[in-house]
């Protein structure tokens, strides 16, 4: 995104033109920004390492196809995310299946799809995978996801590596699974995995988790397992406000140095750092409202379109789509949903009037993918801009779409 002569542009197109043609609210993404962000990882990895994009960040089929064409693998956390990836043309040998509550149906589908590996998150899940592999008489490649008891200092909802988290295996569970699989021909432990959370700015926290899984992998090899991959997860952050952003180049330089005497291949699972800065949510100012000393800009996008500010108290930059020569004032951006918490931005200095448009920045990750139909509101259209071309990659929902599954 850039500003030229008072107008906000995404690649080569004024955002105001997009808003007027397609209506609001809308999500729009930059092809070049996604590509550039992905290439920052690709330029630094070794030939046999894998980048497995975290599909949960943004699962739009067109974006998955784009990333697959760039050489990405995928980290999925549900059977339907796996289906999306395969439909998008993903290489099944570059797909890892994470998540703590995989159903029997999901595991059966993953095993039959011959993906790279399935993360084991609990003893119960291990037993379920073993049962299904026996039913199918099919060998399964698995990863042991470790809980390293590392906290990262971000929002508590996106901390996944602490001892009290629902994610990963403790040391006793790792030992039990290792013992059960040493002589088992159906479960093949090929990876040790860890993901400690999201919006990480300190690469050394990921290195700390790498040291943990490397030690476990070494022990598993001593016990007779053939460990090929260390999956260090994702989680590098972006700059929403004034926080430090993670540096893929610095991270991977340190990772390679940590493993210089080892033969392990690395799996990375970036999500937010690939798509986060590539998307904006464009919304129209419906009204300006004064309440005591406070001014609200009532906009047509709400918490059903972008839940992060309400759920995580997340901060997003807000920009006028078109600059006006009027006095700047302080506004809270309030959405149309009937909840007091439907505030997408607080205390922002803006030059706006009713019927103007504003852009909420850096919503490419955990934006459209977390939308809902609360208040029977329709999910927004999604667009991809490449240079001076706009492509619809998800149609705006209609009322008929909204009620199509109801009887």
Alpha-carbon torsion (245, 246, 247, 250), positive or negative: positive
What pLDDT sits at residue 160?
Answer: 47
What pLDDT sits at residue 149?
Answer: 56
d(CA 304, CA 310): 10
List, run by run, the mean pLDDT of 10-residue segments along the chain (407 residues). 92 98 98 97 94 97 98 97 98 96 97 96 94 96 81 44 64 85 88 80 80 89 92 87 84 88 92 97 97 95 97 95 95 96 97 98 98 98 98 98 96
d(CA 261, CA 59): 37
> C-alpha distances in angstroms, 394 versus 22, 64, 202, 329?
12, 13, 35, 35
CA atoms within 13 A on the CB side of 193: 29
Active site residues: 338
Say if residues 27 and 384 touch (Cβ distance below 8 Å): no
What pLDDT sits at residue 311?
Answer: 93
Instruction: Look at the block and give the residue holding tokens 């990921």.
Output: 206
Domains detected in the chain: 2-29+276-403 (2.40.37.10), 99-268 (3.20.20.10)
Q: Which has the closest alpha carbon to 202: 152, 157, 156, 241?
A: 152
Q: Which has the closest alpha carbon to 381: 392, 366, 369, 396?
A: 396
What pLDDT sits at residue 245?
Answer: 80
What pLDDT sits at residue 152?
Answer: 44
Kindly report whether the peptide bond that precedes residue 10 is cis, defined as omega within 30 degrees of 0.
Answer: no
What pLDDT sits at residue 381?
Answer: 98
Q: What is the pTM of this model?
A: 0.93
- 299 SS3 class: strand
Q: Are strands 50-54 and 265-268 parallel, antiparallel or unpaired?
A: parallel
Structure-token pair, residue 156: 């508590």
What pLDDT sits at residue 174?
Answer: 87
């Amino acid at each position: 995104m850039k500003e030229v002569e008072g107008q906000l542009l995404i690649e080569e197109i004024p955002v105001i033109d997009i808003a007027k043609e397609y209506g609001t609210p809308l999500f729009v993404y930059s092809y070049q920004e996604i590509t550039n962000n992905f290439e920052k990882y690709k330029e630094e990895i070794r030939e046999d390492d894998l980048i497995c994009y975290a599909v949960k960040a943004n699962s739009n089929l067109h974006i998955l196809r784009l990333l697959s064409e760039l050489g990405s693998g995928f980290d999925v956390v549900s059977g339907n995310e796996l289906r999306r990836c395969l439909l998008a043309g993903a290489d099944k040998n570059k797909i890892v299946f994470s998540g703590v509550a995989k159903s029997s149906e999901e595991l059966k589908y993953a095993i039959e799809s011959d993906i790279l590996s399935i993360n084991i998150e609990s003893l119960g899940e291990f037993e379920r995978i073993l049962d299904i592999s026996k039913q199918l008489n099919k060998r399964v490649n698995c990863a042991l996801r470790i809980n390293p008891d590392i906290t990262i200092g971000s929002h508590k909802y996106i901390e996944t590596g602490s001892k009290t988290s629902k994610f990963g295996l403790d040391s006793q569970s790792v030992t039990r699974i290792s013992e059960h699989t040493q002589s088992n021909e159906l479960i093949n432990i090929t990876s040790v995995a860890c993901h400690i959370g999201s919006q990480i700015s300190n690469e050394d926290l990921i290195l700390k988790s790498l040291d943990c899984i490397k030690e476990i992998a070494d022990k598993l090899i001593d016990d007779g397992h053939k460990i090929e991959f260390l999956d260090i997860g994702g989680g590098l952050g972006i700059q929403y406000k004034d926080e430090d952003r993670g540096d893929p180049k610095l991270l991977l330089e340190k990772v390679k140095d940590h493993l210089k005497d080892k033969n392990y291949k690395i799996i990375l699972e970036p999500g937010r750092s690939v798509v986060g800065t590539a998307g904006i949510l464009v919304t129209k100012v419906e009204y300006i409202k004064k309440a005591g000393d406070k001014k609200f800009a009532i906009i047509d996008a709400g918490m059903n379109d972008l839940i992060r500010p309400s759920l995580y108290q997340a901060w997003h930059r807000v920009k006028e789509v078109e600059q006006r020569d009027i006095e700047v004032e302080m506004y809270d951006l309030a959405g149309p949903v009937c909840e007091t918490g439907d505030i997408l931005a607080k205390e922002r200095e803006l030059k706006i009037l009713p019927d103007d448009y504003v852009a909420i920045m850096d919503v490419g990750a955990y934006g459209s993918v977390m939308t809902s139909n609360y208040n029977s509101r329709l999910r927004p259209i999604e667009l991809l801009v490449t240079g001076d071309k706009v492509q619809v990659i998800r149609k705006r929902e209609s009322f008929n779409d909204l009620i199509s599954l109801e009887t």
